[in-house]
């Protein structure tokens, strides 16, 4: 497979792995098999691509995922900047290891929305830092799940 559209994703069955790719970490979330709910799973500190990818593929296999949904950091005006190109390169590197379907999903404001929710819940700074990436992955993935039901 390769980078796919939402329509192509809708034609697959099974859980989805959501990834919020940051410069220092990857937030990971998974959906249930019925694709109703996204659940935050973990945050991986970025080290080297191959071991980081191995951790993602291990979770992908363990949860019997059908595709990955990766947050795509477009600019607020909809244009693509260096971070967007970096995520595309990351996706192509994943596909070179294993040819799986990947959906890029606009992640604008996902981290801000999650951070705002954590602040409203009076979450400490340390707990926010620990949780924000996997919660952002869950927020991104939940957006796709909600869109699939429309």
pTM of structure: 0.88
Look at residue 76 in the predicted model and tell me its pLDDT: 83
Look at residue 41 in the predicted model and tell me its pLDDT: 96
Q: Where is average pLDDT lowest: 31-40, 59-68, 110-119?
A: 110-119
What residue ranges do the domains of the chain occupy? 3-149
Q: Is the pLDDT of residue 1 over 60?
A: no
Q: Where is average pLDDT lowest: 10-24, 40-54, 68-82, 111-125?
A: 111-125
Average pLDDT value for the chain = 89
Q: What mean pLDDT comes out for the span 97-120?
A: 78
- Are the C-beta atoms of residues 24 and 41 closer than 8 Å to each other? no
User: Which structure tokens are listed for 86?
Assistant: 């970096």
> What percent of the chain clears pLDDT 70, i.e. is strictly above it?
83
User: Which structure tokens are listed for 45?
Assistant: 């500190």
Classify strands 3-4 and 15-21 as parallel, antiparallel or unpaired.
unpaired
Distance, C-alpha 144 to centroid of its chain: 10
Span 7-44, pLDDT tens digits:
999 999 999 999 999 889 999 999 999 999 999 999 99
The class of domain 3-149 in CATH terms is alpha beta
> 150 falls in which pLDDT band (50, 70, 90)?
confident
Residue 143 φ/ψ, nearest 5 degrees: -60, -40
Q: Is the pLDDT of residue 109 over 90?
A: no
Q: What mean pLDDT comes out for the span 76-91?
A: 91
Q: Helix 82-97 and helix 49-62: axis angle, to 10°?
A: 70
């Amino acid at each position: 497979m390769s980078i796919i559209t939402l329509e192509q994703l809708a034609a697959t069955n099974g859980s989805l792995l959501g990834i919020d790719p940051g410069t220092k970490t990857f937030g990971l979330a998974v959906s249930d098999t019925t694709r109703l709910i996204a659940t935050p799973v973990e945050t991986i500190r970025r080290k080297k691509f191959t071991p980081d990818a191995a951790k993602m593929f291990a979770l992908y296999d363990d949860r019997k995922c059908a595709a990955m949904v990766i947050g795509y950091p477009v600019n607020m005006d909809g244009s693509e900047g260096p971070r967007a190109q970096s995520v595309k390169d990351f996706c192509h590197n994943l596909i070179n290891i294993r040819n799986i379907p990947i959906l890029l999903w606009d992640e604008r404001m996902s981290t801000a929305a999650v951070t705002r929710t954590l602040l409203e819940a009076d979450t400490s700074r340390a707990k926010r830092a620990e949780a924000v990436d996997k919660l952002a992955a869950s927020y991104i993935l939940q957006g796709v799940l909600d869109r699939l039901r429309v």
